[in-house]
Amino acid sequence: MGRKQSGAGAGRGPAWVKMGSSPTHSYGHAMTLTRSTSLLLNLGHALDHLFLLIFATAVASIAGEFGFARWEDLMPYSAGAFLLFGLGSVPAGRLGDLWGRRSMMVIFFFGIGAAALLCAAAHNAWQMAAALTVLGAFSAIYHPVGIPMLLQHAPNPGLTIGINGLAGNMGIAVAAILTGLMVKYVGWRAAFLLPALLSFICGFVFMRVTPRETESPAKRRNKASVHLGPKVLARLFVVMTFAAISSSLLFNFTTNGNGQLLRERFLGVVEDPAELGAMLACVYALASFAQVVVGRLIDRYPLKRLYLGIVLMQVPLFLLAAHAQGWMLFWLQIGFMVAIFGAIPFTDAMIVRYVDDAIRSRVSGMRLAVSFGISSLAVYLLGPAVKSAGFSSLLLAMAAIACCTAVFVLMLPGESAGTLQPQEA
């Protein structure tokens, strides 16, 4: 049956092609994931980002306990988590396609919970570094496995990506407020223990409600909605990867540094860690809804124009934030996080549109390994950069990185009728 573009996108570039019009054998006889499985997959995204940001939010308290005079000196010890978060995506994606996504998600829930317990038990910087590296290895599973699993029969992929992105960023918001409260009332170790318990519960429930796969994704024949020639596809992958690298650098700089930026710029105004955590959670919660809006727009309009517009928003916001203080910084922080979170859905959207489901986890894994592997440098350099040059210089550098992202997006192939053709399945 030939797949055709829907009328919603007529005259405005290709719209998403509706998936799931023929029977599949992915999960017994079901054509789509159950609501419970979809909910758990979205919750998994929230946990993935929550665990990765606990340390960055509590680093000042942990540094004091470990004998460091400044948080900037302890921050580089977390770089291993983000390096493995990227590099681990390749084997995770391969196993997801060839072995099964359900099995990999079970490993994700239990593995990331166990790694968080190791973090809570750390008593010095190197123990914490090792535990965070293990955490990064298990957290690498989610993006190349959980997102393709969620999208494999989604009728509106853009909206599904947006909702999933909202869930992930809400995890960042919860990390800010939960860690702030735990540091103030219980201690930073509890900030790792509580999410670990939740992850174990999710793992048990996921095993119970998600049917076993009758065949691996690599054996299925779910085609991409749009077919590209080999040269255009190769160009798309290269440009998409470089754009993802620059976007990931901004994501890591901001999500790992926002807490300390807020703390520095509100000195003498708000200094309570719980209040600062709540403010940061508010920034992330408000910015997270950008992904739902963008996801809905992706289903209706060409990717390139949308992506470019959102990336260009980042530049003036970073420039203004470089010297802003107090509440002005707070509102600008919301603005640039809206632009950063809003740019996230595009790479997943391109993979869904242009890559067959049978190899999506592997393609996602390779793209994530390069982009997150390189952008892990942001975590390693964050503390030393702020210590030597300050947050103002860092924000100016992020404006320059945003300009680079815009250049990469301009190199994406256009979506004219001569470039993109509907895929016959």
The two tokens of residue 332 are: 């600008």
Query: What is the predicted pLDDT for the residue at 60?
Result: 85
Report the C-alpha gap between 90 and 62 in whole angstroms: 32
Contacts of 242 (CB under 8 A, 6+ apart): 408
For residue 230, being part of any structural domain is answered with yes
Instruction: Let me know: does 371 contact 244? Beta carbons within 8 Å.
Output: yes
For residue 4, being part of any structural domain is answered with no
Query: What is the predicted pLDDT for the residue at 245?
Result: 84
Query: What is the predicted pLDDT for the residue at 24?
Result: 37
Query: What is the predicted pLDDT for the residue at 219?
Result: 56
The two tokens of residue 288 are: 């997270």
For residue 20, being part of any structural domain is answered with no
Contacts of 316 (CB under 8 A, 6+ apart): none
Report the C-alpha gap between 108 and 118 in whole angstroms: 15
Query: What is the predicted pLDDT for the residue at 211?
Result: 83
Query: What is the predicted pLDDT for the residue at 157?
Result: 75
Number of domains in the chain: 1
Helices (H) and strands (E) in the chain, counts: 15, 2
Contacts of 50 (CB under 8 A, 6+ apart): 171, 172, 174, 175, 178, 195
The two tokens of residue 199 are: 């992850």
Helix (H) or strand (E) holding 226: strand 226-227
- Give the phi and the psi of residue 424 in degrees, each rounded to 5: -85, 130
Report the C-alpha gap between 365 and 91 in whole angstroms: 7
Query: What is the predicted pLDDT for the residue at 282?
Result: 87
Find the CATH number of the domain harbouring 61: 1.20.1250.20
For residue 5, being part of any structural domain is answered with no
Of 340, 334, 345, the residue nearest 398 (C-alpha): 340
For residue 184, being part of any structural domain is answered with yes
Give the distance from CA 278 to its chain's centroid: 21
The DSSP symbol for 229 reads -
- Give the phi and the psi of residue 14 in degrees, each rounded to 5: -70, 130
Report the C-alpha gap between 186 and 180 in whole angstroms: 10
For residue 289, being part of any structural domain is answered with yes
Q: How many CB atoms lie within 10 A of CB 28?
A: 9
Query: What is the predicted pLDDT for the residue at 336?
Result: 92
Helices 157-185, 35-65: inter-axial angle, 10-degree rounding: 40
For residue 69, the enclosing domain spans 31-416
Report the C-alpha gap between 69 and 269 in whole angstroms: 23
Residue-by-residue pLDDT tens, the chain, 425 positions: 444 443 434 434 433 333 333 333 334 333 457 888 889 999 999 999 899 889 888 888 899 889 888 888 888 888 888 888 888 888 888 887 788 888 899 999 999 999 999 999 999 999 999 999 999 999 999 988 888 888 777 777 778 888 888 888 788 888 878 888 888 888 899 999 999 999 999 999 999 998 887 665 655 555 544 555 667 777 777 887 888 888 888 888 888 888 888 888 888 777 787 788 888 888 888 888 888 888 888 878 787 888 899 999 999 999 999 988 889 999 999 999 999 988 888 877 777 777 776 677 777 777 777 777 777 777 777 778 887 888 888 899 999 999 988 998 888 766 543 334 333 33
For residue 10, being part of any structural domain is answered with no
The DSSP symbol for 29 reads T
For residue 9, being part of any structural domain is answered with no
Query: What is the predicted pLDDT for the residue at 304?
Result: 83
Query: What is the predicted pLDDT for the residue at 178?
Result: 85
